[in-house]
Structure 1
Amino acid sequence: MKNRFIAFIFCLVLTSAHSYAQDLGGKQYQLLEKALSQYQALSTKGEWSTITSPKPVLKLKDTSAVLVVIKERLRLLGDLRRVRDGNVFSPALEDAVKQFQLRHGLEDDGAIGPAFMKALNMPLEKRIEQLSTNMSRIKEDTTKSTGTRIIANIPEFKLYVMEDNREVLSMDIVVGKTSNPTVVFSDTLETIVFSPYWNVPASIVRNEILPAINRNGSYLADNNMEIVGKADGLPKIRQKPGPDNALGDVKFLFPNKYDIYFHDTPSKSLFEKKKRAFSHGCIRLSQPYELAQYLLKDQPQWTGTEILEAMSAGSEKWVKLTTKIPVDIIYYTAWVDAGGTLNFRDDIYGHDREQAGL
Structure 2
Amino acid sequence: MVASQSAKQGATGARMRRGLLGVSLLGAVSLLFTGLTSTPTLAQNAALKALIEQQQRVEWRDQFDNTMRSLQAVESSSPTLSPDTATYVETAIQRYSAIVQNGGWPQVTSGRRAMRLGAREDNVISLRRRLMVSGDLEQTAGMSDTFDSYVDAAVRRFQIRHGLTPDGVVGKSTLDAMNVPAVVRLSQLETNMVRLRSMSGFLGDRYVMVNIPAAEIEAVENGRVRSRHTAVVGKIDRQTPILNSKIYELNFNPYWTVPVSIIRKDLIPKMNEDPQYLEKNRIRIFDWKGNELAWQQIDWGTDEATKFQFRQEPGEINSLGSVRINFHNKHQVYLHDTPSKSLFGSDYRFHSSGCVRVQNVRELITWLLESTTPDWNRARVDETIRSGVREDVRLKAQIPLYLAYVTGWATAEGVVHFRDDIYDRDGLALDGAGTAVSAYQ
Q: Structures share a fold, TM > 0.5? A: yes
Say which is worse superposed, 269-278 or 68-77, in terms of deviation. Answer: 68-77
Say which is worse superposed, 35-44 or 206-215, in terms of deviation. Answer: 206-215
Q: What's the counterpart of residue 46 of structure 1? A: 103
Q: What's the counterpart of residue 127 of structure 2? A: 70
Query: In structure 1, what is the Cα distance between the partners aligned to 2:357 and 2:104?
Result: 43
Q: 2:175 aligns with which of 111, 117, 124?
A: 117
Asked if 1:217 is matched to 2:275, the reply is: yes
Q: What's the counterpart of residue 130 of structure 1? A: 188
Deviations for 1:159-191, whole angstroms, at most 9, x for unmatched residues?
A: 111112121121111100111010010100010
Query: In structure 2, what is the Cα distance between the partners aligned to 1:194 and 1:353?
Result: 40
Query: In structure 2, what is the Cα distance between the partners aligned to 1:84 and 1:214?
Result: 61
Q: Which has the higher helix share?
A: 2
Q: Is the 8 A contact 2:79 2:225 kept in 1?
A: no
Shift of 1:157: 1.1
Q: What's the counterpart of residue 7 of structure 1? A: none
Asked if 1:350 is matched to 2:417, the reply is: no
**Structure 2: tracts of 5 or more residues without a match:** 1-69, 290-303, 429-436
Asked if 1:97 is matched to 2:179, the reply is: no
Asked if 1:314 is matched to 2:388, the reply is: yes
Shift of 1:338: 7.1
Q: What's the counterpart of residue 337 of structure 2? A: 264
Q: 1:80 aligns with which of 137, 145, 165?
A: 137
Identity of aligned residues (%): 33
Deviations for 1:13-67, whole angstroms, at most 9, x for unmatched residues?
A: x9896734351x4x31121111112221122222544333344312212212232
Larger radius of gyration: 2
Residue 312 of structure 1 aligns with an amino acid whose one-letter code is: R
Deviations for 1:93-115, whole angstroms, at most 9, x for unmatched residues?
A: 11001101111112211122232
Deviations for 1:105-154, whole angstroms, at most 9, x for unmatched residues?
A: 12211122232222222112111111111012123336644410001101
Q: What's the counterpart of residue 4 of structure 1? A: none
> What is the TM-score of this pair, normalised by structure 2?
0.73
Tell me the secondary structure at the aligned position of residue 244 of structure 2.
strand
Query: In structure 2, what is the Cα distance between the partners aligned to 1:110 and 1:200?
Result: 41
Q: What's the counterpart of residue 319 of structure 2? A: 246
Say which is worse superposed, 268-277 or 287-296, in terms of deviation. Answer: 287-296
Residues paired across the two proteins, number? 344
- Which structure has the higher relative contact order (CA within 8 Å, separation 6+)? 1
Q: What's the counterpart of residue 369 of structure 2? A: 296
Tell me the secondary structure at the aligned position of residue 406 of structure 2.
coil
Query: In structure 2, what is the Cα distance between the partners aligned to 1:271 and 1:279?
Result: 12
Residues 200/327 of structure 1: CA separation in 2 closer, same or farther (3 Å cut) = same
Query: In structure 2, what is the Cα distance between the partners aligned to 1:342 and 1:41?
Result: 15
Runs of 4 or more consecutive aligned structure 1 residues displaced over 4 Å after TM superposition: 14-18, 230-233, 337-340
Alignment root-mean-square deviation, CA: 2.5
Shift of 1:70: 1.9
Q: What's the counterpart of residue 244 of structure 2? A: 186
**Structure 1: tracts of 5 or more residues without a match:** 1-10
> What is the TM-score of this pair, normalised by structure 1?
0.88
Residue 101 of structure 1 aligns with an amino acid whose one-letter code is: Q
